[in-house]
């Protein structure tokens, strides 16, 4: 069990790390997919089967591919070499995060260790139980999520295809005056 955890943790960290360092964006996306699968493994480790399946289905299956498509539709997939990978003043960003990690997260974690570190308890998780809970007290939130999904995705379609912009393009002359000073 421990071995599996460390293995998966390593893969996860590796995946995430690579994602933010690789210059080639496609490689970055694939490494993120690796990260997502490692996380699915961790979920399985924690006996949350359904969540692992959903994680694979949603993240690796659709969000991953969405990312790939997005990259396909935009330029400098490989990342132009002459510009640094990091944005301006990335050092400050790094420092801020490190400060957060050291100053805040770790102390909090150390403090929560209050309860007894119960080992990994084994109970047979069942999707039926999740289904019942989902239907019983949380039915409304299910509805809300459904609504959010539809609205969000329709909005995404409109924004992506630029339907409105297309019409605008017809009316607004191509050489739109840009703001003078920026």
Partner 1 sequence: MNNYFDLKLVELGRWIEAFFAHYPTLKLVVHLLLCTLPLALSFMGAFAFTTWLERKGLARIQNRPGPNRVGLFGLLQPIADGIKMLLKEDIVPERSDKLFHFLAPIMLMIPAMIGVGFLPLGDGLHALPLDSAIIFFFAISSLNTIAVFMAGWSSRNKYSLLGGMRAVAQMISYEIPLVLSAVAVIMMAGSLNAQEVVASQQISSWVGSGNILQEFFGRILGWNVFKPWGFAGFIFFFIAALAEANRSPFDLPEADSEIIAGHLTEYSGFKYAILFMGEYISAFAIAGIGVTLFLGGWNGPVFAGLPWFVLKLFSLFAVMIWIRGTLPRLRVDQLMGYAWKFLFPLAILNIFLAGFYHFLERQWGTAIAMLAGWLFGFGALQLAAIALSRLNQSPTIRSKRVYQLVE
Partner 2 sequence: MNLFDFSHSVGWLWWIPLFPLMATVWLGFFNPSGKFAAAVANAALLASLLLSIRAFAMTWGPEAGVLTANFTWIQVAGVNLEFGVVLNPLTGAMLAMVTFVGLLIFLYSTSYMSRDPGMTRFFCYLSLFMVGMLGLVMSNSLLLLFMFWEIVGLASYLLIGFWFRKPSAAAAAKKAFITTRIGDLGFLLGLLWAFKATSTFLLFDGGQGLLEIEQITALSATKDVLFGLNGAGVIALFLFIGAVGKSGQLPLHVWLPDAMEGPTPVSALIHAATMVAAGVFLVARAFPLFLADATVLGIVSWVGALTALFAALVALGQYDIKRILAYSTVSQLGLMMVGLGAGGLALSEGGVSIGTFHLLTHAFFKALLFLGAGAIIHGCGHEQDIRLMGGVFNRMKVASICYLAGALALCAFPFTSGYYSKDQILLSAWTAHGAVFWISASASLLTAFYMTRQCCYVFLGDYRGKGPIRQSPSLMTAPLVILAIFSLAMGIVSEEFYHILTYLSGIAVDQHAWIVVVVSWVIALGGIALGLLIYGGSQLGLDATDPMKGSLRTPYAWLENQFFIDELYDATVARLWKASAVLIVFLESGIHFLVETVRGLVTGMGGFLSKTIDQKLIDQISFDGVCDRIYKSGRLNAIIQNGFLQGYLRSVTLGAVILGVLYLVFAR
Partner 3 sequence: MGLTLHHFLILSAILFSIGLVGALTRRHIIIMLICLEIMLNAANLNLIAFWHFSSNPLLMHGPLFTLFAIAIAATEAALGLALVLAIFRHYKTIDLESIRDLKE
Report d(CA 17, CA 35) in Å as an integer.
Answer: 9
Residue carrying structure tokens 């490689």:
27
Residues of span 118-177 touching partner 1 by CB under 8 A: 124-128, 161-162, 165-166, 169
Residue 96 contacts partner 2 per CB under 8 A: yes
Using CB under 8 A, which of 7, 129, 135, 139 touches partner 3?
129
Cα separation of the two ends of the chain: 57
- Choose the binding region for partner 2 from 14-22, 39-47, 86-94, 116-124 (rule: CB under 8 A): 86-94
Among partner 2, partner 1, partner 3, none, partner that 117 touches (CB below 5 to 8 angstroms by kind): partner 3
Residues of span 36-95 touching partner 3 by CB under 8 A: 36, 39, 42-43, 45-48, 50-51, 54-55, 58-59, 62-63, 66-67, 69-71, 73-76, 79, 83-88, 90, 93-94
CA dihedral 95, 101, 104, 107 (to 10 degrees): -140
Report d(CA 68, CA 57) in Å as an integer.
Answer: 16
Report d(CA 106, CA 88) in Å as an integer.
Answer: 28
């Amino acid at each position: 069990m421990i071995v599996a955890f460390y293995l998966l943790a390593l893969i996860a960290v590796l995946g995430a790390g690579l994602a933010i360092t690789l210059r080639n964006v496609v490689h970055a996306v694939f490494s993120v997919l690796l990260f997502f699968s490692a996380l699915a493994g961790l979920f399985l480790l924690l006996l949350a089967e359904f969540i692992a399946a959903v994680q694979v289905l949603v993240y690796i299956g659709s969000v991953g591919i969405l990312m790939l498509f997005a990259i396909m539709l935009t330029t400098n997939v490989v990342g132009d070499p002459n510009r640094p990978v990091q944005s301006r003043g990335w050092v400050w960003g790094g420092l801020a995060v490190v400060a957060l990690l050291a100053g805040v997260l770790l102390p909090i974690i150390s403090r929560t260790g209050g309860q007894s570190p119960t080992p990994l308890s084994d109970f047979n998780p069942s999707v039926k139980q999740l289904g019942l809970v989902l239907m019983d007290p949380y039915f409304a939130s299910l509805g809300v999520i459904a609504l959010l999904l539809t609205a969000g995705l329709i909005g995404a379609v409109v924004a992506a295809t630029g339907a409105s912009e297309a019409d605008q393009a017809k009316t607004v002359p191509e050489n739109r005056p840009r703001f003078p000073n920026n």
